[in-house]
Amino acid sequence: MKKVLIPTKLDKAAVDLLRANGAYEVIQTETTDLPALAAQHPDTHALIVRSEPVNVAVIDALPNLKVIIRAGAGFNTIDTRHARKKGIDVMNTPGANANAVAEEVVALMLADARHLIKADASCRDGQWEKTAFMGREVAHKTVGIVGLGNIGRLVAQRLSGFEVKLLGYDPVIARERAAEMDVELTDLATIFSRCDYVSLHVPENDETRKMVNLDLLGKMKKGATIINCARAGIIDEDALRKVKAEKGLRFLNDVYPKDAAGPKSVADIADIMVPHLGASTKEANLMAATRSAEQLIEYDTKGFSSYIVNRDIPEGLDPAYGDLAYSLAKVSRLLLGGDIKLSAVATSFYGSLEPFSDWLLVPTVAGLWAEFERVMDAQAALHFLSDRGIDYRNREIDRKKGFENSITIDLTGSVDASNLRQVSIRGTVAEKTLMIARIDEFEKLYFEPKGFTVFFQYKDRPGVVGIIGHRLAEAGLNIEDVRHSHNTASDQSLAIMRVNKLVPEALVLKIATEIKAIRAFSMEL
């Protein structure tokens, strides 16, 4: 039998499911610390944890360990790299705690707006301070949601009954998907400057660490509120300290560098602080336990590899090409049009990328749909496409073209019952930089897909690029990079400009009308 160690207070549903399977010996305890428990059970096959640190010492003490499952979404307490070196897969259960965290966000907003915590203490003390606890209403306020994953989307849904204005930031979600949630997509600067409440729902990584910095905090309205039920490291605490008193900001916090007793660094700036209660509901605990056990059984019996978060990069493949596939797919979907129903996807992986076509399919599908995560596997990607009635073909490459280590993605979509629209894009990696080399018939673009970008396709004639630049300048937008390509056969040109801020749709439409653009849109990459 395979030994499973559960060193945490997890719903007994996990134990029940695993024991009922008949293939597992399960040990669950809440009293023994994990390093000591690991030393007692070196034959452990699987480890199921909540927020317990799984470090090098714990991993090295379990030589038979094959998989670590985080009963929840965040896995920053697990040394995923060392696990990978030891051949250990790390999985999470995204979405299991999402509703619990979303409801906590609303609870914190209401508790703070009505001073419920202090009012309770005052009333129990025999006082009657009604005027001292004058509050405010959440209804009709503007709420910014940073990160529109499982939790962010549920926060939007739960707040909809308050008739709030919802702004959202997420670099991978399509505007159409956000619109379905009644969320207006915008940039971080706009969210922090316009919102009465800002709720954070992003992972902590190199890109997001201290993303809430002095610049963003300085843009906030006086009396605005920040809610952090995500990860502690995404807020620059020193910056918040500098701005909080001057702006009268409110800070509601549920996350810390370590889940442990002891002094907390934010105690002087947090208006409400609770001990990481986001996932602490009976329902979330049951869901996480059930998902953990089911995933382990599927992993052992069927080779289930979805939700593995430390997936190996295949030997011989530069991970930058996974990012390239993702970026090319995202740009091609925007080029096709979010309102166009996708019917077919075709890919070509040239040069040394050819053997890795299955692996590269995953970031391709993730770039096309925000709801498909890059931790999935190729089989899951194929099922995802098939379930949506989308034809997928990975073409046999033509080596005569000489596209060394390049990726081409072609999309076909239905405009209506009798009209199709197609988009083709090709890119590569040069000097560790992602490059889009071609869009449709426009060659040699060598455009880096990042930042705020605007596209204009038009009938070629003198002066058009100057008009575009002039109108952007009038709006206070600074051009950081320009790429321009002309196609002789169609006598059309494509101008791509990266600017310092998101170009408003109204301005894109104004310029497009003036230059008689065939196609025009802006995006954030």
Task: Give the tens place of pLDDT for each residue, 362-389.
Answer: 899 989 987 787 767 787 788 889 888 8
pLDDT of residue 418: 75
Residue 156 to residue 145: CA distance in whole angstroms:
8
Q: Give the domain 98-273 fold.
A: Rossmann fold (3.40.50)
Task: Give the tens place of pLDDT for each residue, 231-281.
Answer: 999 999 999 999 999 999 999 999 999 888 999 999 999 999 999 999 899
395: which residues sit within 8 A by CB, 6+ positions away?
Answer: 346, 347, 348
Decide: 436 and 481 in contact? Cβ < 8 Å: no
Place of tokens 């994990």: 34
Share of the chain above pLDDT 70, in %: 98
Residue 283 has pLDDT above 90, yes or no: yes
Residue 306 has pLDDT above 80, yes or no: no
CA angle 336/405/172 to nearest 5° reads: 40
Instruction: Determine the CATH number of domain 2-96+283-302.
Output: 3.40.50.720
What distance lies between CA 4 and its chain's CA centroid? 30
Q: Which two tokens stand for residue 225?
A: 């509120």
Segment among 100-109, 149-158, 336-345 with least mean pLDDT: 336-345
Residue 445 to residue 524: CA distance in whole angstroms:
18
Centre a 10 Å sphere on the Cβ of residue 306 and count the other Cβ atoms it contains.
Answer: 16
Q: Which CATH number fits domain 320-524: 3.40.50.300, 3.30.70.260, 3.40.50.150, 3.40.190.10?
A: 3.30.70.260
Fill in the amino acid letter for 33: D
Residue 158 has pLDDT above 70, yes or no: yes
Residue 350 to residue 358: CA distance in whole angstroms:
13
Task: Give the tens place of pLDDT for each residue, 56-81.
Answer: 999 999 999 999 999 988 788 899 88
Tell me if 2-96+283-302 shares its fold with 320-524: no
Chain mean pLDDT for the chain: 91
Alpha helices in 135-259 (DSSP H): 150-159, 175-180, 188-194, 214-218, 237-247
pLDDT of residue 524: 81
Residue 443 to residue 425: CA distance in whole angstroms:
10
Strand order in the sheet with 197-200: 184-185, 165-169, 142-146, 197-200, 225-228, 250-253, 272-273
Residue 34 to residue 260: CA distance in whole angstroms:
14
- Using pLDDT thresholds of 50, 70 and 90, give the confidence band for residue 339: confident
Task: Give the tens place of pLDDT for each residue, 404-421.
Answer: 899 999 999 987 767 888
Residue 330 has pLDDT above 70, yes or no: yes
SS3 (DSSP) at 495: strand
pLDDT of residue 239: 96
Name 438's bridge partners: 426
Residue 175 has pLDDT above 80, yes or no: no
Residue 279 to residue 98: CA distance in whole angstroms:
8
Average pLDDT over residues 337-345: 85
pLDDT of residue 313: 65
Task: Give the tens place of pLDDT for each residue, 191-226.
Answer: 999 999 999 999 887 778 999 999 999 999 999 999
Q: What backbone torsions phi and psi does residue 489 show, to the nearest 5 degrees? A: -60, -40
Q: Which two tokens stand for residue 13?
A: 């549903």
pLDDT of residue 204: 84
Domain ranges of the chain: 2-96+283-302, 98-273, 320-524
